[in-house]
Amino acid sequence: MKITSIRAAVLAATAIAFTAGAASAQDGDLIVFDWSGYGDPEFHTAYIEQYGASPTFAYFGDEEEAFQKLRAGFKADLGHPCSQSVERWKDAGLIEPMDPAKITAFDTLIPGLRDMKGFNEDGKVWFVPVDWGNTALVYRTDMIDESEVGSLQAFADPKFQGKISVGDNVDDAYALGFLAVGVTDWTKATDEQFQAASDFLRKVHQNVRFYWQDGATLAQSMSAGEVSLAWAWNETPVTMQAEGHPVAMKRDTEEGLSTWVCGFAKLTNGEGSDDKAYDYVNAFLSEKSADYMVNAWGYGHSNQAGLDKVDPAVLDSMGYSNLEAFKSKTLWQAPVPYELREKMIAEFEQIKAGF
């Protein structure tokens, strides 16, 4: 797999835009509220070919930030939430049903993703899955021996003080915390297990150099040797390996790893073109986008027809040839009970503040 120069340039540009809190203004008829980096034009070439420019992008660092901004009145047409947040966004009235007849790849989406609880209910499609992958232990193989990272307890080991980065994302952080204390289904977590997960994250905090907000910033820090151990997405090892850096994802730690799926939802307060919203989603779901997502970003794609055209050896090496096998032995980031999620949000802010 070889990362393209445009991919590297886009990551750098979006990292700068995110840091500045800016939106990337292109086609004003469509505003996409997305994760930093997903404005990469290679994901929506068909949209650019049709309209002559990318849509306007506004970026968020995690879904809680996005949720609060939308509740405060921020207007956009499409949002990019993930599995654990869809029902919350729906219950808050932030998203509206989509018309599957306008989604060209709807029938070839992986059923295990397309028909998940909360995504496709009572004949209404609230969410269209696009990308899926892991949050797992990632490390510099020239700075850390594999024997030192056989367990997630490594994140709390004092010998890695100042060399660790964890995403500034409550869901990923608590996926690490719960896994570390033996919980693989956070929807059933007890108060005691939540406290144990929080206590572990407080120990991790003592070692954290910084909480990363986008993959490009994390990759830059790891390539410079400032961070040697991270709790990160598939994107980080794939892009860094392609650039020649000695980085690996450890998928077989004693406690496991986390799995997620993200996608697009129509926002209720959008004022842009409805047709362009569907055209953008269709461009993202294209077979060309599927190939690019797997090979350049290291994530799975929801369009089975697109995955079928990717080199089978590549899919097998990443685990994307079988969704159910991919989800096994992981903490699946399913929606958590409201009270638990509110506690996670409040506690994570306290942990980051050093309390």
Rounded mean pLDDT, 67-77 = 96
Tell me what pLDDT residue 25 has. Answer: 58
Cα–Cα distance between 292 and 41 in angstroms, integer?
Answer: 11
Number of alpha carbons in the 13 Å side-chain half-sphere of residue 12: 7
* E-state strands within the chain: 23-24, 27-35, 55-60, 78-79, 95-96, 120-121, 124-125, 128-140, 164-167, 208-212, 229-233, 247-250, 257-267, 300-301, 330-332
On whether the CB atoms of residues 140 and 226 are closer than 8 A, the answer is: no
A 10 A CB-CB count for 243 gives 12
CATH superfamily label, 5-132+261-322 = Periplasmic binding protein-like II (3.40.190.10)
On whether the CB atoms of residues 305 and 114 are closer than 8 A, the answer is: no
Name every residue whose Cβ is closer than 8 Å to that of residue 282 and which is 6 or more positions away in sequence: 46, 102, 103, 104, 105
100-143 pLDDT, tens per residue?
A: 999 999 999 999 999 888 888 778 999 999 999 999 999 999 99
Name every residue whose Cβ is closer than 8 Å to that of residue 109 and which is 6 or more positions away in sequence: 128, 129, 285, 302, 303, 304
A 10 A CB-CB count for 4 gives 13
Number of alpha carbons in the 13 Å side-chain half-sphere of residue 289: 24
Tell me what pLDDT residue 1 has. Answer: 32
Judged against a pLDDT cut of 80, whether residue 94 lies above it is answered with yes
Mean pLDDT, the chain, rounded, equals 90
Rounded mean pLDDT, 294-311 = 95
On whether the CB atoms of residues 61 and 212 are closer than 8 A, the answer is: no
Tell me what pLDDT residue 207 has. Answer: 98
197-253 pLDDT, tens per residue?
A: 999 999 999 999 999 998 899 999 999 999 999 999 999 999 999 999 999 999 999
Contacts 24+ apart (CB under 8 A), 13-20: 14/38, 14/39, 14/40, 14/59, 14/214, 14/216, 15/214, 15/216, 15/217, 17/57, 17/59, 18/59, 18/61, 18/213, 18/214
On whether the CB atoms of residues 189 and 178 are closer than 8 A, the answer is: yes
Higher pLDDT, 123 or 94: 94
Rounded mean pLDDT, 59-82 = 94
Judged against a pLDDT cut of 60, whether residue 262 lies above it is answered with yes
First-to-final CA distance of the chain: 43
Token digits for 20? 């500045």
Cα–Cα distance between 218 and 269 in angstroms, integer?
Answer: 33
Q: SS in 3 state form for 189-254?
A: CCHHHHHHHHHHHHHHHCCEEEEECCHHHHHHHHHCCCCCEEEEECHHHHHHHHCCCCEEEECCCC
Judged against a pLDDT cut of 90, whether residue 2 lies above it is answered with no
- Judge if 5-132+261-322 and 133-258+330-352 fold alike in CATH terms: yes
Rounded mean pLDDT, 141-158 = 97
Per-residue pLDDT band for 61 (boundaries 50, 70, 90) equals confident
Query: Beta strands 164-167 and 208-212: pairing type?
Result: parallel
Per-residue pLDDT band for 5 (boundaries 50, 70, 90) equals very low
Amino acid at 257: L
In the block, which residue shows the tokens 């090496």?
A: 317
Structural domain boundaries of the chain? Answer: 5-132+261-322, 133-258+330-352
Higher pLDDT, 127 or 324: 127
Token digits for 46? 């068909």
Tell me what pLDDT residue 118 has. Answer: 81
Cα–Cα distance between 224 and 219 in angstroms, integer?
Answer: 8
Tell me what pLDDT residue 22 has. Answer: 43
Helix, strand, coil percentages for the chain (3-state, nearest 5):
45, 20, 35
SS3 of residue 28 by DSSP: strand
What φ, ψ does residue 133 adopt, rounded to 5°? 180, -155
Per-residue pLDDT band for 23 (boundaries 50, 70, 90) equals very low
- Asked whether the CA dihedral 44, 47, 53, 56 is positive or negative, the reply is negative
Tell me what pLDDT residue 10 has. Answer: 40
Per-residue pLDDT band for 66 (boundaries 50, 70, 90) equals very high
Domain 133-258+330-352 has CATH 3.40.50.880: no
Identify which of 282, 233, 235 has the alpha carbon closest to the alpha carbon of residue 55.
282
